Structure 1
Amino acid sequence: MGKREKNILIAFILFAFGMLAKKYNTCIEIILLIVAYITVGKSVLLKAFRNIKRKEIFDENFLMTIATLGAVIIGEYPEAVAVMLFYEVGELFQSYAVSKSRKSIADLMDIKPKYANVIRNDKIETIEPDEVKLGEIIEIRPGERVPLDAVITKGCSTLDMSSLTGESLPFEVEEGMSILSGSVNTSGLIQAKVTKEYFDSTVNKILDLVENAAGRKSKSERLITKFSKIYTPIVVILAFLLATLPPLTFDSSNWKEWILRALAFLVVSCPCAFVISVPMSFFGGIGAASSSGILVKGGNYLEALADIDTIIFDKTGTLTKGVFNVQKIELYDSSLDKNKFLELVALAEFSSNHPISKSILKCYKKEVNKNDIQEIKEIPGKGIEAIVKNSRIVIGNKKLVDVPKELNIDESGTTLYVSINDKFSGYIVIADEVKATAKKDIENLKNLGITKTVMLTGDNEKIGKKVANELGLDEVYTNLLPADKVYKFEQILNTKINPKKKIAFVGDGINDAPVLARADVGIAMGAIGSDSAIEAADVVIMTDELQKIVSSIKIARKTIKIAIQNMTFAFVIKVIALVLSALGIASMWEAVFADVGVTILAVLNSFRVLKVEK
């Protein structure tokens, strides 16, 4: 039992004995009630006085202090204790609600590794993760959390990545595979070479994102904050007028009655329900999203998600699997054989992390001799220029490689044209596959009211249209460089029908970073371990599932709906209770029930956002 709970229990017992003592001894009654008042109300009184010193006068603590001290001064001790007691019960309920809303985020915060086992001088040292250097070998035992991003050098195991992705399926890893900090080793003993220092690791970037999310308030939250600052001084003035004007003008014999009405008015006017209901809703929404492996950087982005009517997609790795395989190798230079041709291409593509480059290295199957590589230069949106084995290799699209005009190449896949020593030598066809659930996920988005779906791709027109038609997308734009994507996005933005609606861009967060940053809502797909995704996007989906976009929009809309319900309900009940208290129909007892009741109902309603449809 916490301190607040103990104080409430003690005060309640004293209050009960005080009410019983009323029949026998008034002095004992007053003493018990005053002790109960101090026990339960001292934290509120202290906060009010501290805030007055800081010139932050008008808040709920100030209102409760005036109302209850006023009741004590005029001898209404039971009302004073009851108001403070029920207020603290409401605050306790509220803190419990915040804790529950925080739980999913707190679970995510548990991914922070507490130590790392580093192999130094053939001995294992257990140190802080931020003390491990790049390139050092760490050992992860069964049941331990992976402390840093690394590549397995020895052993095989199964990882639990649910804290990062929201998915409970185990992930098999073996030598040569990358592992991410924050995941849990569930079976075998593994050793791995550190690829990122702690400050640059996946887990640290995610934790930083979550810790800063609460600071980015939505428009609704900012509006409520401004409203409460204006609202509170007004109700204090109205309460003062209610206590003084009637006795001074037409009812001089009933000062106590009008003061009681004014105190009840103050209790009812407490802005707790307003102040807590909207932030609680948004905080709960962010927590619900994070438990599903969706990281939302703040309430403002959650609010924007709810207003989306247009979604623009990147193709590779977003709508398609991003797993390329070489389908065909065609030579144009008869002096070359396929093995020699493929070797030169593999050497040129060696340093690139692009899925196409990886597919070529996969097809080559041999170990690349780095000594054969003299120079590699990547040209965004076009391809690669390299000098390998003293030969100049140019690989890319027709914007980079001069293809003989007589060649009419029309392949269903990504075509890489290859020039060796300024002579066109052949081409390689590489194909990607559409994600299995992509078509259904696009349909689900349209069922949610997404009126326009667009695809922007650097791929050729034939491939782009094929994917767009297969998925039922509304528009597709092909052969785009990264800068072209930003330009095309601006065009779509300028021609949208409803200016109040938002446009989201979904990409992998690397090549698409400029568009992710420009969009109303930038959504990074499959961004686990991607630095630029976490930094450039507003919403980070830790897996590559399109279904998570559907979930994020549902959560956002549910959050907004609950926030509006809370605001409306609190406002209506407050107005009614204020009128009744001013007319003397509602006493301080009814006033405190109205205030605490509205707060508790708003909190209970906010709980609903935590229920996420899987």
Structure 2
Amino acid sequence: MRYTLEGLSCAGCAARIEQELRKVKGLEQVTVNFTNQSLDLPPELLPVAREIVTRIEPGVNIVDTTGQGQGPRFYIILVAGLLLVIGFIINMQFSRPPYLWAGYMLLLTSYFLAGWRVLATAVRNLIRGRVFDENFLMTIATIGAIAIHQLPEAAAVMLLYAVGEYFQERAVNQSRRSIAALLDIRPAYANLRLEGETKKVRPEEVEVGQVIVVKPGEKVPLDGEVVEGVSFVDTSVLTGEAVPRKVEKGEKIQAGMINGQGLLTVKVTRPFGESSVARILDMVENAATRKAPTEQFITTFSRYYTPAVVLGAAALAVIPPMVLPGADFPTWVYRALVLLVISCPCALVISIPLGYFGGIGAASRQGILVKGANFLDALTGLHTVAFDKTGTLTRGVFRVTQVVPSNGFQEDELLAVAAAAEVYSDHPIAQSIRAAYGQNIDPQRVGAYREIPGQGISAMVDGKRVLAGNDRLMYREGIAHDVCSVAGTVIYVAIDGVFAGYLVIADELKPDAGETIAGLKNLGIKKIVLLTGDDEAVARRVAGELGIDAYFAELLPEGKVAKVEELQAALPDRRCKLAFVGDGINDAPVITRADIGVAMGGLGSDAAIEAANVVLVDDAPAKLVRAVEISRYTSRIMKQNVALALGIKAFFLGLGAFGVATIWEAVFADVGVTLLAVFNATRTLRYGNGVAAGVKRV
């Protein structure tokens, strides 16, 4: 069950909570998602988890709802600021008691108002033996400043830190709200029709086979098939495309779509938990559990970086006064304090996960489901793309264009026998043969039905053994037959071991297939190949029309896997990635084997979608181009944040070590850089709104 961590505003805190929770049996794989303040727990382990969270971060609570108030905190900071100004003026203008002591009291009050949370947390952590975090650094730095008679600076540093934390928290919460808005597609209710009456129920309560009514302007609550009515639906929530789509009786409709003007009666085909909208929510919300290499590096980096800086600051405070002539301890202690303030790695720890999550959210808004930051990151290194043909680059809507009988058989007889043999198959080719036959087929006429993967069908029709499939099936059975080279898929038919003729079935390219290949090449993808189980003539024609670099035809499922492994072995180095794009259940193995598996999410099989790392919701292959663009845009922003944070911190560390920078500048280097990095990371949320120019080629 998913719970919210109310009050979680520190990425380091999230990491510590996760580390401690994983020590509990049953929570070894738990992930604390800092970006959306959530974690998944078995309900029976909730009390244990609450105890751990309270012990580690007393200000964080595990709750069922989100949200926390910031109003009181704002007013506390405001009062602390006023006291700081008044105390500073008194301290500057009057150097004698009682005014001097009054100024000190105002400054100390400001210090404790602004920093009581930091001080309390630092003390609790110190008792537990955990010292290397931002609270400890700020506490030591400001107490040290007080010790060397820099009380105004200590109060100002704590106040500025509190202000920075306040705005940082607001920025992160704003990003969370933006992400939540992207995912606000969950339907609130369904109009269930029972015994002639309609009542509102929760979508989870509706069962497969029941009938619901979707009124004009309502969200479609569940996947189903239209049984009555005609309307236009807005699919932009699922696909990112604003063009309305017409739906009528017999057509499929998906949860999350918004009905237009017509009244629709829909027969439910999937429970809510398996609907399109539920899958999107689940995939995007869980995507943060799969961290990109950059995130993993930052986590490891911060673990060693902060202690190293603390030791360096200690050395800076002690060694120079002992070895340099004329050096005094207060001066070098002050410089060491500056280094302590600068050292906090919050800018990276917060902004990097936030940026990746924003990129995943932006992709989902455009009909691209990326199942983890690691897969979004992998898309930046895409070198080779292998495509399936049917249903991926072609519509998968077949039509029989020729019926060519042989050996004395008639056209009608050949078509009737082929349609009967395919009666149990859901393959688009089988559906097209039955559609061309146009008559009802009694399934009792068909027995011993068997599908032969990558080859065709074997069945007994009216007591006769019928084979319907490709050229390999005929050779396998030793049946002499004509060899055809036509623009289309050829289905050879044999009856009782005698070649009866063949059917030619045509499939059309998807409208965006050519755009997809051209777009990938424009992005600098080095190699694009076609892997298909269809015959060589069809593969050659499709590859030629689309400008695909190479094709491999007549491949069985295991042949596709072998070919992908061969292509992977030919990649220049480990940073280069291979993606396979497919849609059928027979593509699931090769989707799993590829570095990045991409599935068509509209008409694609459940097996392919579950195996995939990236799902294109509306079956448009051109969305792969957009996915690569989003990944590169996100990666560019992450690199900017790393360079920004490390560069500015290194600059101020140098200034602090040589005594040029004061604690005031150190606060900017810490809190200011964190804010800049967080605001920069939120740009990934807005991809597609005219902010992502210049990411075409690498």
State the SS of the aligned residue for 1:425.
Answer: strand
Alignment equivalent of 1:412, drawn from 473, 482, 487 = 487
**Is residue 681 of structure 2 the alignment partner of residue 606 of structure 1?**
yes
Corresponding residue for 1:160?
234
TM-score w.r.t. length of structure 1: 0.92
- State the AA in 1 paired with 2:590: V
Distance 2:394 2:459 in 1: 28
Corresponding residue for 2:62?
none
Distance 1:291 1:209 in 2: 13
Distance 2:360 2:395 in 1: 28
Cα displacement string for residues 43-72 of structure 1 (whole angstroms, at most 9, x for unaligned residues):
333443454455543222322232233334
Distance 2:130 2:540 in 1: 61
1:576 and 1:481, CA in 2 relative to 1: closer, same or farther beyond 3 A? same
Distance 1:116 1:180 in 2: 13
Cα displacement string for residues 11-62 of structure 1 (whole angstroms, at most 9, x for unaligned residues):
3333333334434633443333333333333333344345445554322232
Distance 1:103 1:369 in 2: 56
Report matched runs for 1:16-31 at 5 Å.
16-22=85-91, 23=93, 25-31=99-105
Cα displacement string for residues 569-594 of structure 1 (whole angstroms, at most 9, x for unaligned residues):
32222122112212221111111122
State the SS of the aligned residue for 1:564.
Answer: helix
Alignment equivalent of 1:2, drawn from 58, 70, 75 = 70
Corresponding residue for 2:532?
457
State the SS of the aligned residue for 1:193.
Answer: strand
Residue range with higher mean Cα deviation, 484-493 or 11-20: 11-20
State the SS of the aligned residue for 2:472.
Answer: coil
**Is residue 401 of structure 2 the alignment partner of residue 332 of structure 1?**
no
Q: CA deviation at 1:404?
A: 5.2
Q: CA deviation at 1:389?
A: 5.1
Distance 2:194 2:144 in 1: 70
Verify the 8 A CA contact 2:215 2:262 in the aligned structure 1: yes
Verify the 8 A CA contact 1:243 1:261 in the aligned structure 2: yes
Residue range with higher mean Cα deviation, 465-474 or 364-373: 364-373
1:433 and 1:20, CA in 2 relative to 1: closer, same or farther beyond 3 A? same
Distance 1:570 1:468 in 2: 47
**Is residue 640 of structure 2 the alignment partner of residue 565 of structure 1?**
yes
Corresponding residue for 1:11?
80
State the SS of the aligned residue for 1:279.
Answer: helix
**Is residue 194 of structure 2 the alignment partner of residue 120 of structure 1?**
yes
Report matched runs for 1:168-317 at 5 Å.
168-247=242-321, 254-317=328-391
- State the AA in 1 paired with 2:108: I
Q: CA deviation at 1:240?
A: 2.3
Cα displacement string for residues 464-521 of structure 1 (whole angstroms, at most 9, x for unaligned residues):
0111111111111000011100011111112233443111111125321111111111
Verify the 8 A CA contact 2:238 2:365 in the aligned structure 1: no
- State the AA in 1 paired with 2:354: M
- State the AA in 1 paired with 2:83: L
Q: CA deviation at 1:96?
A: 4.2
**Is residue 434 of structure 2 the alignment partner of residue 434 of structure 1?**
no
- State the AA in 1 paired with 2:352: V
Alignment equivalent of 1:475, drawn from 534, 541, 550 = 550
Q: CA deviation at 1:230?
A: 0.4
Q: CA deviation at 1:418?
A: 2.1
State the SS of the aligned residue for 2:395.
Answer: coil
State the SS of the aligned residue for 2:586.
Answer: coil
Q: CA deviation at 1:200?
A: 2.4
Corresponding residue for 2:658?
583
Distance 2:683 2:321 in 1: 47
Corresponding residue for 1:130?
204
Corresponding residue for 2:469?
396
Distance 1:486 1:273 in 2: 43
1:283 and 1:45, CA in 2 relative to 1: closer, same or farther beyond 3 A? farther
Corresponding residue for 2:453?
380
1:100 and 1:533, CA in 2 relative to 1: closer, same or farther beyond 3 A? farther
Distance 2:275 2:427 in 1: 21
1:392 and 1:128, CA in 2 relative to 1: closer, same or farther beyond 3 A? farther
Q: CA deviation at 1:139?
A: 2.2
- State the AA in 2 paired with 1:11: A
Distance 2:128 2:260 in 1: 52
Corresponding residue for 1:360?
433
Q: CA deviation at 1:232?
A: 0.8
Question: Superposition RMSD on alpha carbons, in Å?
Answer: 2.7
Distance 2:248 2:559 in 1: 40
Verify the 8 A CA contact 1:105 1:291 in the aligned structure 2: no
Distance 1:90 1:430 in 2: 66
1:297 and 1:261, CA in 2 relative to 1: closer, same or farther beyond 3 A? same
Distance 2:148 2:557 in 1: 73
Q: CA deviation at 1:387?
A: 4.1
Corresponding residue for 1:148?
222
**More RCO (CA 8 Å, sep 6+):** 1
1:162 and 1:490, CA in 2 relative to 1: closer, same or farther beyond 3 A? same
1:568 and 1:508, CA in 2 relative to 1: closer, same or farther beyond 3 A? same
Aligned pairs, number: 613
Distance 1:454 1:253 in 2: 69
Corresponding residue for 2:575?
500
**Is residue 388 of structure 2 the alignment partner of residue 320 of structure 1?**
no
State the SS of the aligned residue for 2:186.
Answer: coil
1:563 and 1:360, CA in 2 relative to 1: closer, same or farther beyond 3 A? same
Q: CA deviation at 1:380?
A: 1.9
Percent of residue pairs bearing the same amino acid type: 47
Cα displacement string for residues 499-558 of structure 1 (whole angstroms, at most 9, x for unaligned residues):
431111111253211111111111223546742233211111212333322222122222
Distance 2:254 2:329 in 1: 70
1:529 and 1:446, CA in 2 relative to 1: closer, same or farther beyond 3 A? closer
TM-score w.r.t. length of structure 2: 0.81
Verify the 8 A CA contact 1:509 1:516 in the aligned structure 2: no
Q: CA deviation at 1:254?
A: 4.1
Distance 2:414 2:178 in 1: 53
Verify the 8 A CA contact 2:481 2:499 in the aligned structure 1: no
**Is residue 610 of structure 2 the alignment partner of residue 535 of structure 1?**
yes
Corresponding residue for 2:58?
none
Q: CA deviation at 1:213?
A: 0.8
Verify the 8 A CA contact 1:202 1:529 in the aligned structure 2: no
State the SS of the aligned residue for 2:524.
Answer: coil
Verify the 8 A CA contact 1:516 1:537 in the aligned structure 2: yes
Distance 1:12 1:343 in 2: 87
Corresponding residue for 2:35?
none
Verify the 8 A CA contact 2:383 2:571 in the aligned structure 1: no
Q: CA deviation at 1:347?
A: 3.9
Verify the 8 A CA contact 1:526 1:545 in the aligned structure 2: no
